[in-house]
Amino acid sequence: MAEFPESPAAKAGASDLGSFPLLRQVGLFDATMLVMGGIVGAGIFINPYVVAQQVHTPGLILGAWIAGGITALLGAFIYAELADRMPAVGGQYAYLREAYHPVLGFLYGWVLLLVVQTGGMAAVTVTFARYFLELTGSRLDEHIVGALALGILTAVNCLGVKMGTRVQSALTVLKIVSIACLVISGFLLVSGPHPILSSGGSPTISPGLLTSFGAAMIPVLFAYGGWQTANFVAAEIKEPRKNLPRALILGVAGVVVLYVTVNLVCLRVLGPSDLASTTVPASEVMRRVLGSRGAMLIAVGIAISTLGFLSQSVLTAPRVYFAMADDGVFFRSFASVNQKTRVPVVAIILQSVWTIVIVMSGRYEQILNYVVSMDFLFFGLTATCIFVFRHRDRARQHATVKQSIGSRVPGHPYTTALFVLVSWLVVGDTIYKYPSNTLVGMLILLLGLPVYAFWHRRRASGEPGS
């Protein structure tokens, strides 16, 4: 769009990048599946018990998941407007670069590669491997199984974005079917269901209750995260200014429905106390309604869900490193696009190799501790880009700018400010509860500054990339 100067990476979907441009081959359905696939991993099958341990009544448990869903929808509207304004490869990286300074975009990509994306992927990879081994009875090492799974998904995504999105959409549909089976079984097959609406009255509002509810929101918000990764592939989505905002809203709304109904079923089958006492609520629900066969079925569903999350991660996040390289702040080879498949093969392989290194090192749980604070720090910072871009609209007094933007955040500036506040409250909570973990995460972030300075000087001097 005219109001923002575009880097070569921002134009990659429409013009040549090197010799071969990225291709717009992702339609609305596949984009929606990308949004849902980026959110739904293993969290919804496990996190309900964590929430129930913090708040102990059905109303508060469901209220936490509904509040988290509303927050996620606010984020989806914010990212929909950003996608409408800048349908550029790299998503958050591009927004931060254009709204503030290229160094902020680089720092986002830096922690995404080193901590946020790869750390999360490593944890999910091991989760998949454990369920796979349990289901098959194989004696293979879980690290080897995880590395093989990542290798297969990497190869699939190197064959082209169309192939990658087809596999991703199929896995997302299967995980939705798995959740639907859990919900239907919990509603139709349970004997002696627990009452969802308690007759014991409402809990008294107090500082302790508010603190507990805030603690419950952390795993909820973490479970709802991931929708923003669909924006990374904006340069490969057909009619991105129309389809990407729609995919964000439809995808997040669909996940909210899934998550709330899963918790309804958990409360109906287990009740609040039993839900809080089991660490595998989805498996326990299916065991009670269908016995050991049910537990086996949900284990298959969890394995598919984790594999689908990995597939989505392999497809989307490498576009950020690709954009960084094309801007001259990363190795130039990572901006290369394969002549036949038209995807950034080197960037895709880079992320998977680093994830496998983390898996093999066994340090993924420690790295995962740094993810929450970094992720929500950039959630809030990216949302503030709306204020910057709208201020520029007003400063230029171009009436056509406002009219050309179809997706606008409803209730802005209040809703946008609320999303920023919630995001940074999560950061504050993690700093308070896990100061050492947060400090390490911040140090990793700050280490990106001298690295950016190196690449910036290299680009300014005209040195060729590696």
339: domain range?
Answer: 28-458
The answer to the question of residue 13 being in a domain is: no
Q: What percent of the chain has pLDDT over 70?
A: 91
Residue 464 pLDDT: 58
Q: pLDDT by residue (tens digit) across 379-410?
A: 999 999 999 999 988 887 655 545 466 678 99
Residue 15 has pLDDT above 60, yes or no: no
Q: pLDDT by residue (tens digit) across 419-437?
A: 999 999 988 888 888 888 8
The answer to the question of residue 17 being in a domain is: no
CA 331 to chain centre: 25
Mean pLDDT of 192-220: 77
Residue 345 has pLDDT above 80, yes or no: yes
Helix (H) or strand (E) holding 342: none
Average per-residue pLDDT for the chain:
87
**Beta carbons within 8 Å of 107's beta carbon, 6+ residues apart:** 445, 448, 449, 452
pLDDT band at residue 202 under the 50/70/90 scheme:
low
Q: pLDDT by residue (tens digit) across 51-108?
A: 999 998 999 999 999 999 999 999 999 999 999 998 888 999 999 999 999 999 999 9
pLDDT band at residue 465 under the 50/70/90 scheme:
low
Residue 13 pLDDT: 42
How is residue 232 written in tokens?
A: 């990374």
**Beta carbons within 8 Å of 6's beta carbon, 6+ residues apart:** 88
The answer to the question of residue 280 being in a domain is: yes
Say what the alpha-carbon torsion angle 117, 215, 282, 315 is, to the nearest 10 degrees: -10
The answer to the question of residue 330 being in a domain is: yes
User: Using CA atoms, how far apart are residues 431 and 125, in angstroms rounded to an integer?
Assistant: 27
Residue 7 pLDDT: 45
* DSSP string for 320-336: HHHHHHHTTSS-GGGG-
Alpha helices in 196-317 (DSSP H): 207-224, 240-277, 281-316
Residue 88 pLDDT: 87
N-terminal to C-terminal alpha carbon distance within the chain: 31
C-alpha neighbours within 13 Å on the C-beta side of residue 61: 29
Residue 18 pLDDT: 41
Q: Would you call 240 exposed, middle or buried from its count of C-beta atoms within 10 A (0-12, 13-18, 19+)? A: buried
Residue 373 pLDDT: 86
Residue 330 has pLDDT above 50, yes or no: yes
Mean pLDDT of 228-241: 92
C-alpha neighbours within 13 Å on the C-beta side of residue 439: 5
Phi-psi group of 402: left, alpha or beta (phi > 0 → left; psi -120 to 50 → alpha; rest → beta)? alpha
Domain count, the chain: 1
Phi, psi of 237 (to 5 degrees): -95, 135
Residue 233 has pLDDT above 90, yes or no: yes
Residue 429 pLDDT: 85
Q: Residue-wise over 327-362: b if at least 16 C-beta within 10 A, else e?
A: bbbbbbebbbbeeebbbbbbbbbbbbebbbebbeee
Nearest CA-CA partner of 313 in 41, 23, 32: 41
Residue 200 has pLDDT above 60, yes or no: no
How many Cβ atoms sit within 10 Å of the Cβ of residue 406? Answer: 12
Q: pLDDT by residue (tens digit) across 263-306?
A: 999 999 999 999 999 989 999 999 999 999 999 999 999 999 99
The answer to the question of residue 32 being in a domain is: yes
Residue 6 pLDDT: 41
List the single range of 107-116, 183-192, 416-425 with lowest mean pLDDT: 183-192
Considering only the C-alpha atoms of the chain, give the largest distance between any 2 of them, rounded to a whole number of Å: 73
Residue 20 pLDDT: 55
Q: What is the CATH number of the domain that holds 88?
A: 1.20.1740.10
- Contact of 378 with 108, CB cutoff 8 Å: yes
What's this model's pTM, rounded to 2 decimal places? Answer: 0.88
pLDDT band at residue 42 under the 50/70/90 scheme:
confident
Mean pLDDT of 326-352: 91
The answer to the question of residue 6 being in a domain is: no
User: Using CA atoms, how far apart are residues 131 and 135, in angstroms rounded to an integer?
Assistant: 6
